[in-house]
Amino acid sequence: MPYSMTGFAYVSQEFDEYDISVRIKSLNGKGIDISVKGHRDLIAFVELDVRNIIRSFFDRGSFQVFIDLKYRKPKLFMNIDNLKEAVETVKTVMEEIQLSPSDDKIYDLASGIAGEMEENLIDEELKSNTLDVVKKACEILKEERKREGDNLIKDIKNRLIILENIAEKIDRQKEEIISKAKERAVEKIRELLGEEFSERAFIEATIIADKMDITEEIVRLKTHIKRFKELLELDQPVGRKMDFLCQEMHREINTMGNKMPDFSEYTVEMKAQLEKIRQQVQNIE
């Protein structure tokens, strides 16, 4: 069955030297939008891979990912030899341009240079462990979105049944309504023409009544409902297709209401149910 786009997952895992926790929150979205935040040095090292993992699990949604890294002992993300070399470089440059910056200023400049000299501030094992935790969080989130999706589907199925039942009522009653409309049109023409009432006038009344026929609209509406039910059984992203069907069903219901005002009570109820279905569909992947 289709998945919801809303959900939450949290995973925390302990390793020998550190703990990694990953929190992912997903909301509905037209496409896929990913925000990755957390431990600055770690994020810079794994963000691209995290984004690719999210895309491998999900097709639609807005994702907020927070990754935290806590060392059990202080960890210095800086190669001391590189830092020393950078400090000497900064001092040499400052002397040449005859400036005397404070030690704090020298450190700020040197640490930036040393950071650029470092290609792998985070080791590959830490990266691998982090991505494994992200995958576990995605698996939990996927299950959460599936459970939420199951609830959405149940609600949509119940409302589709209501639409079907109302469509059947309209289908059973439409001929009687058309017949009465035709009789009213004939009587009206007779009142207007009196003795001039002719077969041609009767034909005109028949044409007017025939324009009220909503057989095609009912058939198309039932077809859309059937297709909607088929989509509900697919284990793949179908939210966009469902949204399109909602638009098509609204068009048929609206036309039915315009052609046959006698059924306004029915069509108003159908529109209300369809709007609730459309709101649910906005959360389906």
Q: What is the pLDDT of residues 36-67, one digit of tens each?
A: 999 887 898 899 999 999 999 999 999 999 99
Report the number of secondary-structure helices (H) and strands (E) in the chain.
8, 4
For 7-75+123-144, CATH gives 3.30.230
- Tell me, yes or no, if the pTM score tops 0.85: no
Tell me the Ramachandran region of residue 19: left when phi exceeds 0, alpha when psi lies from -120 to 50, beta otherwise.
beta
Identify each DSSP E strand in the chain by its residue range. 7-14, 18-27, 32-38, 61-71
pLDDT for residue 280 is more than 70 = yes
Domain ranges of the chain: 7-75+123-144, 80-117, 148-281
Provide the residue type at 215 as one letter.
T
Kindly tell me if the per-residue pLDDT of 213 is higher than 60.
Answer: yes
The pair of three-digit structure tokens given for residue 170, joined into one six-digit string = 């309209």
Nearest to 4 by CA among 51, 52, 59: 59
Give the pLDDT band of residue 1 (cuts 50, 70, 90). confident
Measured between alpha carbons, how far is residue 175 from residues 17, 47, 180, 212, 216 in Å?
Answer: 78, 64, 9, 10, 13
Do the beta carbons of residue 170 and residue 281 sit within 8 Å? no
- For residue 168, the model assigns a pLDDT of 94
